[in-house]
Amino acid sequence: MSHFRPNHRNTRHPKLFNFKGLGLWHAACIFLFLKGCYFWLPIEEDHPNAPPVIEYSSPEPENIFRIDTPAGSVAWVSVFDPDQGDVMEYMWTINGLGPQGTAQAFMSGNYQGSSIQLPLDPLYNGRVLTCTVFDPSGASDRRSWTIEVEEGS
């Protein structure tokens, strides 16, 4: 004759479901959800990401980037990002030559920026220099200039 001894943990409160970490409230919500009662908490984003903005640059927008000294010339952008604490990433590219690794970043208060110095080289003449700035969320802004190399400088 075998003796059956019930599990003492299950005698007081039998399990209605077997989902670890879920309580009775969760079970009621799941039941109501499956039966067609849909309750959604309002989706609210406290601070949506605002994209960075290139506010100032040299050269100015729509101007030509002239390389006209033996030491070359410098282009720079100054960026404002309304999302405090965001640190920007900058990508300087020249069409046909790809990304340029000689840029430097700077910070001052809420303004951040980057600059690049290009040498006097006829290789750059007629190409387009572009600076794209990215915030940590992937939002971006960009500015482009046509490069003009002054021959004989």
The span from the CA of 93 to the CA of 90, in Å, is: 10
Nearest to 16 by CA among 6, 7, 5, 25: 25
pLDDT for residue 5: 52
Whether the pLDDT of residue 21 is over 90: the answer is no
**pLDDT averaged over the chain?**
82
CATH of domain 53-149: 2.60.40.10
pTM: 0.68
> What confidence score (pLDDT) does residue 24 get?
63
DSSP state of 123: G
Beta bridge partners of 146: 64, 128
**Token representation of residue 99:** 């990304």
Assess whether pLDDT exceeds 70 at residue 11. Answer: no
Residues 59, 63, 64, 70, CA torsion sign: negative
Residue 31 pLDDT level (bands cut at 50, 70, 90):
low
Give the sign of the dihedral formed by CA 28, CA 34, CA 39, CA 42.
positive
Please give the pLDDT value at position 10. Answer: 47
Average of per-residue pLDDT across 35-61: 77
Q: What angle do CA 58, 59, 61 make, to 5 degrees?
A: 110
pLDDT > 70? residue 144: yes
For residue 84, the model assigns a pLDDT of: 80
